[in-house]
Structure 1
Amino acid sequence: MDFAVPLAESTALLADQHQLVAINDALIEQYLGEDWAFVYRNREYLFWGLIVTIALTLTSILLGFLAGFPAGVIETYGSGYVHSFVRKFGVLLRGTPILVIMLFTYFALPLEPVYNAVQAGVNAFEVVLGPTPFTGPDVPDAFIAATIALGFRSAAYQSQIFRGALQSIDDGQMEAARSIGMSRLEAIRHVIMPQALRRSVPGFQNEFTIVLKDTSIAFAIGLGELLRRSQDLFLQQTTAVLEVIIFISLIYFVLTFTTNRMLDALSTHFAIPGESS
């Protein structure tokens, strides 16, 4: 088989791409200035920061849901020491600045067992899909710490979203479910919970946006997310501080705007018939 022609085509395509990048760089520098051209040349570096930001948002909001929904159920229907612990722990998390929580998580909590488990998962993920932004000895522990901090802080707020949604369901529905032979747990699972989850979407939408923006606080523990990589850039070229900040602000705006539109559509789709969305 003759590989000469495909290899020549690949080389030519790569050369054309480099030429196009050089032309774009020159045009941006001509019309917008050297600082914007500097941002353009480092777009791939910022892109990987964007990937870390999105991944951190998703893992944190998922952890927040997995911890927050049961907490909301316990606060609504629980009693005794478990109810008291969940309520007080939620108050503590909501009353503590997220930066303090993140620093405590990173420097004080024993993360080694969690780190080993997550590292095994990341390695398996990379075997299947290739390298990820989390490859390296120093990044995963910061990512794990940030996920735990943002996730449990989000859980404290999500628990209140779900508690309000659960309490908004009329008590008569619980009584009707019990009257047809359902246990209390079955009534919550099959009757109350589906309606509460639908009603909680607007509050969850707001919490998702907050977590997305709060990922920038992971900058404080050295995680290479969007804000941290932006600082790396404007330390290289101090005249480009404003341009870099404007650029990442636009990225955050696009992320939040897109997320809100998607969750608006989700809220409309899952809205309970007969209720205003």
Structure 2
Amino acid sequence: MLGALVEPSVAALAVSLSALLDPSVSVSIADAIQPAFLEGFVSTYLGDDWQFVYRNADYLLWGAGVTVLLTLTSILLGFIAGFPAGAIEVYGSGYSKAFVRKTGVLIRGTPILVIMIFTYFVLPIEIVLVAAELGLRALEFVLGPTPVAVPTDVPEAFIAATIALGFRSAAYQSQIFRGALQSVDDGQMEAARSIGMSRLEAIRHVMVPQAMRRSVPGFQNEFTIVLKDTSIAFAIGLGELLKRSHDLFIQETTAVLEVIIFISLIYFVLTFGTNRLLDYLSYRFAIPGEST
């Protein structure tokens, strides 16, 4: 009897990415586990409002899954674009340096809501996907076959949100990496050149490894900001955590405060866990002899 109550359904766990990103789809974890005794406990001791939250917890948790996925894709895009931009600002010259600097100022000076609405309603997503596919093919031509493929069933709202958050993050990550690169003593560049390294080799093997380690605290702050800024995707209808909580608000319920407390707790757990992990990485990869 107890095994029947706690054994999860395999079908409830087999959820595709497209279903996860669709706010109209809700895979009921509570129905899969069927803990009727927990629902009765919540109703008896916490009230009907918390019972409403409990019944819809699976719907909110799948929204948290979208939030985490959106955070990871945005941070990755921000790193791919932000680190080279920071290096260009330090070691570049001429038009490339001026272009990167002015572009960063423009993006940082534009509200993220405006950027997200622009990417969703103005930017042609189809062209972006074609460009991404061509980029992956070029990467495979240089490095060989890669396990990465351009997704075709991801909602346009998710792609637009990733682009908006990713390039906004890149504008700030570029400054994190710029400061980290500039913090490495110039004497190390001279020492690397004196033993026969080219300028590019010195940057790659001497300057960048130290800068990456020193950038972890700033990157930790940026990761937390991106995680919370995923809530802006509510404006374009993406079914992340805040959007799904709003779906519950418009129902005939008085549990608005309880829903807000529940999703705030989810955000806290995500940010706290991320910060603790990055604290460990900062300590683990700290440069010997420097304070952490």
1:161 aligns with 2:172: no
Verify the 8 A CA contact 2:53 2:258 in the aligned structure 1. Answer: yes
Structure 1 residue aligned with 2:227: 212
Correspondences of 1:117-266 after superposition (within 5 Å): 121-122=150-151, 140-266=155-281
35, 44, 48: which one pairs with 1:30? 44
Instruction: Report whether the alignment pairs 1:21 with 2:43.
Output: no
Give the TM-score of the pair, scaled to structure 1.
0.86
* Paired residue type of 1:196: A
Deviation at 1:186, TM superposition (A): 0.6
Distance 1:14 1:53, change over 3 A: closer
| Length-normalised TM-score, structure 2 | 0.82
1:32–1:195 distance in 2 versus 1, CA, 3 Å: same
Cα distance in structure 2, aligned partners of 1:36 and 1:249: 15
Query: Is 2:37 aligned against 1:51?
Result: no
The structure-2 alpha-carbon separation of the partners of 1:202 and 1:12, relative to structure 1 and needing over 3 Å to count, comes to closer
> For the aligned residues, what is the CA RMSD?
2.2
The answer to whether the Cα contact below 8 Å between 2:7 and 2:33 also exists between their aligned partners in 1 is no
What is the rounded CA distance, in whole Å, between the counterparts of 2:100 and 2:93 in structure 1? 10
- 1:25-104 matches, cutoff 5 A: 25-104=39-118
CA distance in 2, matches of 1:88, 1:14: 53
Letter in 2 for 1:200: S
Secondary structure of 2:255 counterpart? helix
C-alpha displacement of 1:51: 0.6
Distance, in Å, in 2 between the alignment partners of 1:164 and 1:240 is: 46
**Distance in 1 between the 2:96 and 2:220 partners?**
28
Aligned mates of 1:43, 1:115 — CA distance in 2: 34
The one-letter code matched in structure 1 to 2:278 is: L
Aligned counterparts of 1:220 and 1:268: Cα–Cα separation in 2: 38
Gaps of 5+ in 1: 1-8, 124-134
Measure, in 2, the Cα distance between the counterparts of 1:251 and 1:12: 23
Displacement of 1:97 in angstroms is 0.6
Larger helix proportion of the pair? 1
The 1:63–1:222 alpha-carbon spacing in structure 2 relative to 1, beyond 3 Å, is: same
In 2: Cα distance, 1:151 partner to 1:183 partner: 32
Contact persistence 2:5–2:35 (CA under 8 A): no
| Residues 1:113 and 2:127 are matched in the alignment | yes
Aligned in 2, Cα 1:19/1:250: closer, same or farther, shift over 3 Å? closer
Amino acid of the residue matched to residue 205 of structure 2?
H
- Distance apart, 1:10 and its partner CA: 6.8
Q: How far 1:115 sits from its partner (Å)?
A: 4.3
Superposed CA deviations along residues 141-187 of structure 1, whole A, max 9, x for unmatched, are 00000000000000000000000000001011111111111111110
Deviation track 1:25-77 (CA, whole Å, cap 9, x = no partner) reads 12101111111101111111111101100000000000000000000000001
Q: 1:204: how far off?
A: 0.3
- Residues of 1 paired with 2:186 and 2:218: CA distance? 22
* 1:272 corresponds to 2:290: no
Name the CA distance, whole Å, in 1 between partners of 2:188 and 2:7.
Answer: 65
Preserved CA contact (<8 Å) 1:115 1:144: no
Are residues 64 and 114 of structure 1, via their aligned partners in 2, closer, same or farther at CA, if it must alter by over 3 Å? same
Deviation, 1:14, is 7.7
Q: 1:257, 1:240 → 2: CA distance?
A: 26
Structure 1 residue 18, shift from structure 2 partner: 7.0
In 2, the alpha carbon distance for the partners of 1:29 and 1:77 equals: 62
**Structure 2 CA distance, aligned partners of 1:11 and 1:181?**
68
> How far off its partner does 1:13 sit?
5.9
The 1:13–1:67 alpha-carbon spacing in structure 2 relative to 1, beyond 3 Å, is closer
Could you list the structure 1 runs, at least 4 aligned residues long, displaced by more than 4 angstroms after superposition: 9-15, 17-20, 115-118
